[in-house]
Structure 1
Amino acid sequence: MDAINLRSVSRRHGSGDRAVTALDEVSLDFPRGTFTAVMGPSGSGKSTLLQCAAGLDRPTSGSVLLGGTELTRLSETRLTRLRRERVGFVFQAFNLLPALTAEQNVALPLRLAGRRPPRARVREVLDRVGLADRARHRPGELSGGQQQRVALARALITRPDVLFGDEPTGALDSRAGHTVLALLRAMVDDEGRTTVMVTHDPVAASYADRVVFLVDGRVGGELTGAPAAEIATHLTGLEARASGPETRPARPETRPSEQAAQPC
């Protein structure tokens, strides 16, 4: 069974002449234990795809299955429970609570779910991201890369079926970004963690097993095991198509709110 299946997924905003189609009949499969990067020009539907696949947004039509569970048929209560228990999120904004220590931020998803966080589990995931010695540091005492690693540990605390990242290295310098990407790659290779990452960076995308390209809300091809240079060339071609005279106006992609970034 695949980790995620999208079948003819469309997402439209507005109605009538003002309607904008962010996703247009997208069908994709994400096999278990793989790392997929999603790329495309601005407004191509990348973040909307991630939000629909993760249950943060509901498609206008089509179906989304996560591990065989049809998300579009779930009530808001059941969808919230599924996100808490089976999905992890890492976004460009770290979304750490400044008054809490690293270990308290990591434990937050379990507390929000009404569960007592096992101290050993919290320390385990902090150790997994190389921050066991920073457990009692607050975000203001950590570098940007360290804060993102705390956010990654927080996403892993519930042992999610799928880890979603929306530009997880976008706010980091190249060295810190490499550290985070190497951790994501290792989690796929060592633990079989299914990972889906939206990125604009060909170097980041080269860490993935597969790169799926979107243009104008549709799948515009994919590459497997490609180096950064090949990925960049393909993306440049898509951007040229997207800026052509017959291309419909691009819609700025919506991003989950800071509250949605927490697994609530």
Structure 2
Amino acid sequence: MNRDAIRLDRVVRTFGTGDTAVTALHELSLAFAAGTFTAVMGPSGSGKSTLLQCAAGLDRPTSGSVLLGGTELTGLTENRLTRLRRDRIGFVFQAFNLLPTLTAEQNVALPLRLAGRRPSRAAVHDALARVGLTDRARHRPSELSGGQQQRVAIARALITRPDVLFGDEPTGALDSATSRDVLRMLRGMADDEGQTIVMVTHDPVAAAHADRVVFLADGRLDGALDAPSAEAVAARMTRMAATPC
């Protein structure tokens, strides 16, 4: 049985105070098994991005606990949390966020350099090899396609061999064919390397690459689908959209 890579227990996240307070997550309990690929879906405003940010240690819950493996994140100091995110968590966004003046290999090495560590050529080469871009190591972002840029961004997130790779709409800026290529690559990382992946998406086709889809509605868990098909995910999202709040 897979252990949990990430576990959220009764997590509440409230923004603001008093009459203007908005609760984005309502006592949410959810676990992501190590070595699995999970998609997170739900209507706009359902709490998907807040869930991702709390799970990744980018935001602190108002109450409840978040565990990365056996490490409780919510009690860590800001310095310890920063080190944990740097060493054990990878994050990929819809925007590639590559530095235009740096080559692919320099962009991949950047997190280690910012941490005061000298990246080895072998580690950078390995990260690029994992995303199939060793032949583009010396190219700058302007010389790469959108899909290649996102692969560099994924390699940059993988350079520290993180426990969990989080993606916030990582294929949202890509065309459908390129999106499928990136998703197949992520699927292969889970299958072949045991990489734990948690991805927020609005696209049923993207979600169908995951082992499981969890659905959020109004900051609460609203069910899950195992071994999802794009058609089943789309039908579930349609039902959720038709259900009155």
- TM > 0.5: yes
Q: What residue identity is the alignment partner of 1:165?
A: G
Question: What's the counterpart of residue 56 of structure 1?
Answer: 58
Counterpart CA distance in 1 for 2:132 and 2:193 is 16
Unaligned runs of 5+ in 1: 248-264
SS at match of 1:180: helix
For residues 187-211 of structure 1, give each alpha carbon's deviation from its aligned partner in whole angstroms, at most 9, with x where no partner exists.
Answer: 0000100110000000000000000
Per the TM alignment, residue 183 of structure 1 is displaced from its structure 2 partner at its CA by 0.8
Counterpart CA distance in 1 for 2:130 and 2:163 is 17
Question: What's the counterpart of residue 212 of structure 1?
Answer: 214
Question: What's the counterpart of residue 262 of structure 1?
Answer: none
Structure 1 residue aligned with 2:122, among 115, 120, 123? 120
Per the TM alignment, residue 15 of structure 1 is displaced from its structure 2 partner at its CA by 1.0
Q: What residue identity is the alignment partner of 2:146?
A: G
Q: Does 1:131 align with 2:133?
A: yes
Per the TM alignment, residue 112 of structure 1 is displaced from its structure 2 partner at its CA by 1.0
Structure 2 residue aligned with 1:229, among 228, 231, 240? 231
Unaligned runs of 5+ in 2: none
Question: What's the counterpart of residue 96 of structure 2?
Answer: 94
What is the number of residues matched between the two proteins? 243
Per the TM alignment, residue 236 of structure 1 is displaced from its structure 2 partner at its CA by 1.1
Counterpart CA distance in 2 for 1:240 and 1:9 is 27
Question: What's the counterpart of residue 170 of structure 2?
Answer: 168
Identity of aligned residues (%): 74
SS at match of 1:81: helix
Structure 2 residue aligned with 1:38, among 37, 40, 51? 40
> Which TM-score applies when normalising by structure 2?
0.98
Q: What residue identity is the alignment partner of 2:228?
A: A
Counterpart CA distance in 1 for 2:174 and 2:228 is 23
SS at match of 1:38: strand
SS at match of 1:186: helix
Per the TM alignment, residue 130 of structure 1 is displaced from its structure 2 partner at its CA by 1.3
Per the TM alignment, residue 175 of structure 1 is displaced from its structure 2 partner at its CA by 1.0
Counterpart CA distance in 2 for 1:85 and 1:20 is 32
Question: What's the counterpart of residue 75 of structure 2?
Answer: 73
Q: What residue identity is the alignment partner of 2:131?
A: V
Counterpart CA distance in 2 for 1:177 and 1:126 is 18
- Which moves more between the two structures, 232-241 or 37-46? 232-241
Counterpart CA distance in 2 for 1:196 and 1:239 is 23
Per the TM alignment, residue 163 of structure 1 is displaced from its structure 2 partner at its CA by 0.4
Structure 2 residue aligned with 1:191, among 182, 190, 193? 193
Per the TM alignment, residue 107 of structure 1 is displaced from its structure 2 partner at its CA by 0.3
Question: What's the counterpart of residue 25 of structure 1?
Answer: 27
Aligned residues: CA RMSD: 0.7
For residues 128-167 of structure 1, give each alpha carbon's deviation from its aligned partner in whole angstroms, at most 9, with x where no partner exists.
Answer: 2111111111111111110000001001100000000000
For residues 26-57 of structure 1, give each alpha carbon's deviation from its aligned partner in whole angstroms, at most 9, with x where no partner exists.
Answer: 00011111110000000000000000000000
Per the TM alignment, residue 120 of structure 1 is displaced from its structure 2 partner at its CA by 1.2
Counterpart CA distance in 2 for 1:175 and 1:118 is 33
